[in-house]
Chains A and B, each alone.
Chain A
């Protein structure tokens, strides 16, 4: 039987986006658009969306446990953008399990993540449908 993620709440995760951390994702994404590197019409450089999405994966939670025999694979994703994130800010991610279900013998979990800037500004909300797979023995 698959591990139930409802057994444990997910501890929030905080991260600080320095220019260097943002640049790591610009390299990863092959994307050096000026909006991520310098002042824009609306404020400081934007945090690359890849960084925000990657840092809000539930695997970032300090209490997330793969327990050595489970891994999560993305099956579907809904993302709602609420406000642009700015380089230099700190962010906090919280998660909650919305649903768990079986489909064709596989165990799926729907987890909602909310990313909030240090001053309380909501940045994005996402719902990830994850396929949990069991590590092969031997």
Chain B
């Protein structure tokens, strides 16, 4: 699954579905595994801590699912995307532990830029109910 010059506007790409199992959330947001007191308590890892800050649930770190979208961009444009890629996102819903997210992208536009084609993609993550939790754009060159 990669974008090529001939990829048309409107083409949709779907990343791997990821379940935010508690163990994976703790591995991401609990600090280094060999740190004393692991996992550290924060709004991502501890329900009572999260409630203390007025949140109804633990709120999975947005950086955990930004990475899902970054990974999709690397799949679509190759590792070279890490030398110029840009991504803009807004976070519009809380992601809870045990939610299942899938990253998606659709080609919004394409144009010639120097000798290459610049693609602008609408990107988002949605949960198991089909609700979008993060929305934005990314650009890439072919």
Residues of chain A having any CB pair with chain B under 8 Å: 21, 24-25, 27-31, 33, 35, 40-42, 46, 48-50, 53-54, 57, 59, 71, 73-84, 133-136
Given contacts A49-B70, A133-B54, contact A54 B83 (CB under 8 A): no
Q: Which of A30, A41, A77 contacts B18 (CB 8 A)?
A: A30
Q: How many residues of B contact A (CB 8 A)?
A: 41
Residues in B4-52 with C-beta less than 8 Å from chain A: 16, 18-19, 23-25, 27-29, 32-33, 42-43, 51-52
B62 proximity list for chain A (CB < 8 A): 74, 77
Contact across chains for A74 and B91 when beta carbons are under 8 A apart: yes
Count of A-B contacts with CB under 8 A? 119
A35 to B74: give the CA distance in the assembly, Å: 10
> Are A84 and B82 neighbours in the complex by a CB distance under 8 Å?
yes
B45, chain A: closest CB distance, angstroms: 12
Is there an interface contact between A80 and B86, defined as CB atoms closer than 8 Å?
yes
Given the complex of chains A and B, what is the CA–CA distance between A25 and B86 in angstroms?
22
Out of A74, A80, A135, name the residue touching B52 (CB < 8 Å).
A135
What 0/1 pattern do residues 91 to 118 of B give for CB contact below 8 A with A?
1000000000000000000000000000
| Complex CA distance for A94 and B125, rounded to whole angstroms | 28
Residues B52 and A79 in contact, CB atoms below 8 Å apart: no
Question: Is the pair B43, A73 in contact by a Cβ cutoff of 8 Å?
Answer: yes
A135 vs B55: C-alpha distance when bound (angstroms): 10
Structural contact, B89 and A77, CB atoms closer than 8 A:
yes
Q: Is the CB of A29 within 8 A of B64?
A: yes
A41 to B80, CA, bound (A): 11
Cβ–Cβ contact A136 & B79, under 8 A: no
Interface status of B120 (Cβ within 8 A of chain A): no
